């Protein structure tokens, strides 16, 4: 019954051809291919962005670590001078005092 109604509706519209369900639409595969290409490009840009961000964060962490190490050396030297210790005898005692700071 529905098929008859559809045919009548299309006949009423002036002889417009009723689309077949099995019929491929023109450009369907091309549209899908273009859409897939856009998705791959977007994913590629996102991966590059994440890699750049990760790289910059890693560089920042390494820089902070370097500054922290140099500050610890400075802190150890100042503490040894303040206590009047020699570098050879200060090892364990300095580590204990620095861990409390």
Block residue for tokens 């210790």: 85
**Rounded Cα distance, 89 and 95, in Å:** 12
Does the pLDDT at position 60 exceed 60?
A: yes
16 DSSP assignment: P
Block residue for tokens 């491929």: 24
Averaged pLDDT, 17-40: 71
Does the pLDDT at position 64 exceed 60?
A: yes
Q: Residues 66-99: pLDDT tens digits?
A: 999 999 888 888 887 877 776 666 666 666 666 7
Contact 90, 81 (CB under 8 A): no
Predicted structure pTM score: 0.46
Residue 73: what are its φ and ψ, rounded to 5°?
A: -65, -45
Does the pLDDT at position 15 exceed 60?
A: no
């Amino acid at each position: 019954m529905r098929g008859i109604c559809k045919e009548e509706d299309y006949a009423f519209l002036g002889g417009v051809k009723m689309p077949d369900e099995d019929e491929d639409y023109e450009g369907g595969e091309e549209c899908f291919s273009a859409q897939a290409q856009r998705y791959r490009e977007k994913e590629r840009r996102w991966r590059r962005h994440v890699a750049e961000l990760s790289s910059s964060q890693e560089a920042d962490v390494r820089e902070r670590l370097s500054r922290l190490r140099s500050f610890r050396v400075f802190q150890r030297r100042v503490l040894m001078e303040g206590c009047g210790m020699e570098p050879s005898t200060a090892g364990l005692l300095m580590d204990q005092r620095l861990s409390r700071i």
